[in-house]
Each structure stands twice: as C-alpha cells, then as structure tokens.
Structure 1
Amino acid sequence: MLTIDNASLSIQGIPILRDVSLAIETGTTVGLIGRNGAGKTTMMRAVMGALPLDKGTIQFEHQALHKTPPHHRAELGIGYLPEDRRLVPHFSVEDNILVSLWATGNADRARLKWVYDLMPEIGRFADRRAMTLSGGQQKLVALARALVAGSNLLLLDEPFEGVAPALAQRLMEVISDLRREHLSVLISESDYTHSEKVVDKVYAIERGQISLMPRADAA
C-alpha cells in the first residue's frame, strides 16, 4: 500500500529525516512512536506532499507519490488528521468534513453517511460551528474529515494528544473499528499508551531515523 524507501528531508538546511524506510501493507495498522521533535509530523507531511524529499522515494499503490501534486491525495483515497486539527473555525462541522469532497468534485455523500454511522455523535452536532466545539470534539471532526477522504489510507498524527481520557477512548474505539473496513492506517504517538492493542507493527523514530520495534507479543 505505502512504501517509504531511504527518504531524507531537510528544512532550511537542517536534516529532519535521515534515510528512513517504512512499509504499510494493505489493511494493516502501523504505529510510529517517537518523542516530540523526533520527525513524526515531518514524515506525515512528506507523505501528504507538503514537504519535498531531498532524496528517496514514497510509493503508494505502485505510484510515485513523492512526484504527485499534494492536491491529488484526496483523489487517491488518502486522508490526513494533522496534529493541530486544522479545522475552519467558522465552517459548520459538516462543511469541515466535506472539504475533501469539494476539492475532488465528488458529490457522493455516501461516504459522509458512513462516517455518521461510524460516529453518531458527529451527526448530532453537524450544524454547529467548529469553533464552538471542545478540543476533543474537534479531534473527532478532524478524524471524520480524514475518513471521508481516506478510503484507502489514513495518516493520523498524534490523534490522542491533548484529548480528555473519555474522548481518547472513543477515538481509539473508532480507529479499532476501522480494522474491519480493511483500511490501511498509520498512527503517530509519543508512546504506546493508546494504540498498542490495535497496531500490527510499530516503528520507532528518533532524531529522524527509523527502526522496526519488536512486538511484546511476538515471543
């Protein structure tokens, strides 16, 4: 599904990613664990085309994603939940969710209905402005927006950070339910607190370098 091979990336001349390689098979959930500043968000943004590679490749379904314009990600079925949510404050919840469909010219609302069925609480405040929601509720809306676009691959950058325990648990339930949908998912976290039970494999990132972590249940 997604393969990153020997990718390096610098920002203003400062190396951030150093020869990183990572693979996500179709229908699997992969964790990316690292401290703040380790390079997790940079990797997500590189996959989304927001940051160009210095070298290496990013392949998605045998397509050179690193050469594909950023706005084509939604057309490819790639959804992204950024760490800071990036909602439009004055838009309604539903309008925020539908942004990716507007971008692709897709008028089919079946995916929106699926998201509402998956997260009924979103439908209950669909008409409210995003700015009136709590931080945890905004995370749910950002996840819903990612799900509308991400019919093939989801990139979830620190989805549990800054969220109350009850809402973090709800987010984890939704992400766990996605395994039945055969979606491929990459989740970044600073530690293993929430995602350990749902990931199929885990990569650790430290100072821009990645290693595959052994699973505790692999003995």
Structure 2
Amino acid sequence: MSLDISDLDVSIEGIGILKGINLLIPTGKMAGLIGHNGAGKTTLIRAIMGLLPVSKGTISFKGEDITRQPSHRRANLRISYMPEDRRLIPELSVTENMLMPAWANKIRDGEERLKWVYSLMPEIADFGERKALQLSGGQQKLVALGRALIPGRELILLDEPFEGVAPVLAKRLSSVIADLRGEGLTVLIAESDDTHSADLVDSTWRIERGAVSQSRKGDEP
C-alpha cells in the first residue's frame, strides 16, 4: 500500500477530533474522502502532512512509519497537499508561487518540474507573470494544484479542490486530476460530496464525526 493509516486518533486542544481512523490507498490509485464541513476531512489531511500531532495510531507511507516525523519530511518523501484556502502569496507572481516549494525544500529540478506542470495546465503558463491576487478564485485553484505538484510526485492530498469554483473551471480541474492517473500518483480527494470526484476515484471513504468507513461505488452519501 502507498498510504496506510491504522487506528488513528487526533485531538486538538484536548478535544478528540478523529477516532480510530483506518484507511488504505494503494499506490497509483485515487480515493475520495467525503464528509460534511466539520466532519474531520481537513484534520485528517493535516495529520497526514504532519501539521497536527497524532494521539494514537500510525501513518505509514510506502511501508515507512511517518507518524512522528516532522512535517518537512513529507516533502522529502514526495508528499504534498493542496489546502482548501489555496494559500497563495498575493504579491508574488504565479511562477514564483509555483516555485516556492522547490525553493523551500531545495528541489534541484524545480524548473523542470514547473515545465511539466505547465504542460499539464498550459493556461497557468499563460498568466505566469501575473500576481496571484489578479487571478480569479478558479484560476487560483489551478495554480494551487500546480504548486502542490512540484513536490508531490508520489502522494497528493487535495482538500476541497472544487469548492467555490465555476462549473467550467471545476470541469477543467477534474480533467487535470484525471490526467494524474497516468503519472502514477496516489491521490486523496476530500470533498463535501462526490459530485465532482465520483468518476475519478477508485474507492470512496466516508467521514462522519471523526470516524471513517469505506463505501462501495454507488452507495449513497
């Protein structure tokens, strides 16, 4: 398995948020994590990224226990994520925002990786010199996805990638994510519902009140 989460508990300020999470995503597969706002989706993603401490259980990636490893270690393991709120730096250009992970993590082939991202999403290259604050919300989502792909060569976690995006750009995002399948990436897509991800994923996991269960395709939310 690529990502293996076992019996995971996560608390924030002493309040239990995630309880007994078990989740498996095989290498090169896409999975959906579906749950309403407040169900624990972002907490789980942040725990996987090492941004929140784990109270109990383990997170393993490609057979390596990364539960207690510092967050920067995830980049070294080629794990990345696209946060729900994009977190672009408004004053920097699109290209500068895209290259930030390469600079921060000393990724030597960042420029080559950027060219690959631009080949996936040529429209980003078209406004590469524009400031991030000049982009629409949907365009910023594309840039945030591209930025995550710079270090995320093995596993990428997408937190509400379609939220607040116009239908035409949501369709474009779906197309780009679908193209990642051919790149051998393991992908976890967190959404409030599976409107956009149902046709993309190989498996779906439901999260409710901090507990996760796997559902078969065709099951109702």
Q: What TM-score, normalized to structure 2? A: 0.96
Find the residue that maps to 2:33 and give its secondary structure. strand
Cα distance between partner residues in 1 of 2:167 and 2:204: 23
Aligned to 2:106: 105
What's the offset of the Cα at 1:41? Answer: 0.2
1:8 aligns with 2:9: yes
Separation in structure 2 between the aligned mates of residue 164 and residue 114 of structure 1, nearest angstrom: 25
SS at match of 2:189: strand
What is the number of equivalent residue pairs in this alignment? 217
Aligned-partner Cα distance in 1 for 2:105–2:21: 31
- Tell me the residue number matched to 1:35: 36
Q: Distance in 2 between matches of 1:106 and 1:87?
A: 19
Deviation of 1:206 (Å):
0.1
Instruction: Give me the whole-angstrom Cα distance separating, in 1, the residues matched to 2:133 and 2:153.
Output: 27
Contact in 2 for aligned 1:79/1:145 (Cα 8 Å): no
The equivalent of 1:192 in structure 2 is 194
Distance 1:151 1:25 in 2: 15
Partner Cα separation in structure 1 for residue 4 and residue 192 of structure 2: 22
Partner AA of 2:117 in structure 1: V
Query: How big is the shift at 1:92?
Result: 0.8
Distance apart, 1:102 and its partner CA? 0.7
Deviation of 1:98 (Å): 0.7
Say yes or no: does 1:78 pair with 2:73: no
How far did 1:104 drift? 1.8
Q: Who is 2:166 aligned against?
A: 164
Unaligned runs of 5+ in 2: none
Q: What is the CA-CA distance between 1:15 and the residue it aligns to?
A: 0.9
Matched residues in 2 for 1:195 and 1:82: separation? 17
**% identical equivalent positions:** 57
What residue is the counterpart of 1:129 in the other structure? 131
Structure 1: 5+ residue stretches without partners: none
Q: CA deviation at 1:72?
A: 1.8
Q: How much does 1:199 deviate?
A: 0.3
Q: CA deviation at 1:64?
A: 1.6
Deviations 1:127-162 (A, max 9, x none): 111111111111000000011111000100000001
Partner of 1:154: 156
Give every structure 1 segment of 4 or more consecutive aligned residues whose post-TM-superposition deviation is greater than 2 Å: none
Instruction: Between 152-161 and 58-67, report the one with greater CA deviation.
Output: 58-67
Counterpart in 2 of 1:182? 184
Deviation at 1:97, TM superposition (A): 0.8
Structure 1 position 112, deviation (Å): 0.7
The CA distance in 1 between the partners of 2:137 and 2:218, in whole Å, is: 32
CA–CA distance in 2 between the matches of 1:172 and 1:65? Answer: 29
